[in-house]
Amino acid sequence: MKNAVKIILKSILTLGILSSVFCTVSRLHVFGAETVKESAYQEVKKDGRLYVFSSSQRKADFEKSGELGKGIIKIGYGRNGETVVFDSEDAVIEYEARLVKEILGKANIKAYREAKINDRLYVFTSPTRKENFEKSGELGVSIIKIGYGPNGETVVFDSDEAVKEYHNRHPQKHVQK
C-alpha cells in the first residue's frame, strides 16, 4: 500500500513538472518569441532584487543609470523568494524556461522520445525540436550515427543530451559502422 502511494505521488509530481514544461513551451509558441541568445541573457543582483535581462543594451543602460525604466516586476518570484525585475517578456520566458530546466535536472526527468521513421530511429530530448521536426520534416542540426540502432538502423539524435539519454535507456554496446 505504501509503495502504491509513493508511486502515485511520484506520478503526480512528474505530471506537474511536465505540465510546467509544456506551459512554458506553449507560452513561447503563443507569444512567437524567438529564443534569447545565450550571451544576451543575464541576471544581476542589486538591493535584494534580481534583475533579469534579455537585452544586453538594456543591461548596459541599467548599469550606467541604476534605473531600468519600463520593466516587469514579480514579487517573491525568485528562487529564494526575492523580487525579480525583468526587462521584457522575453526575459520572463527565458527565466521560467531556465527554472523548469533546473527543476527537471534535479528531478532527473527527461523529455525523451524515440520515433522510427523510414527505417531511421529519431531520438529527441527537446519537445520543441520534436514538434518542429513533425511540422517541417527536418531536424536542422543533428547527430547521425549510421548502423547504431538495435537492429542496425541509423539513429538521428537532436542533441548530445539525446545521445547520453539513449545510452542510459539502451545500455547494450553500440557500434557505429
In this prediction, residue 39 carries a pLDDT of: 55
* Domain spans, the chain: 1-107, 113-169
**Residue 153, class by beta-carbon neighbours within 10 Å (0-12 exposed, 13-18 middle, 19+ buried)?**
middle
pLDDT tens per residue across all 177 residues of the chain: 555 555 555 556 555 555 555 554 444 444 434 444 445 899 999 999 999 999 999 999 999 998 888 999 999 999 899 999 999 999 999 999 888 888 776 665 567 889 898 889 999 988 888 888 888 988 888 999 999 988 889 999 998 888 988 988 888 755 555
In this prediction, residue 49 carries a pLDDT of: 94
**Residue 53, class by beta-carbon neighbours within 10 Å (0-12 exposed, 13-18 middle, 19+ buried)?**
buried
In this prediction, residue 88 carries a pLDDT of: 93
Q: 3-class secondary structure for 114-127?
A: EEEECCEEEEECCH
pTM for the model stands at 0.44
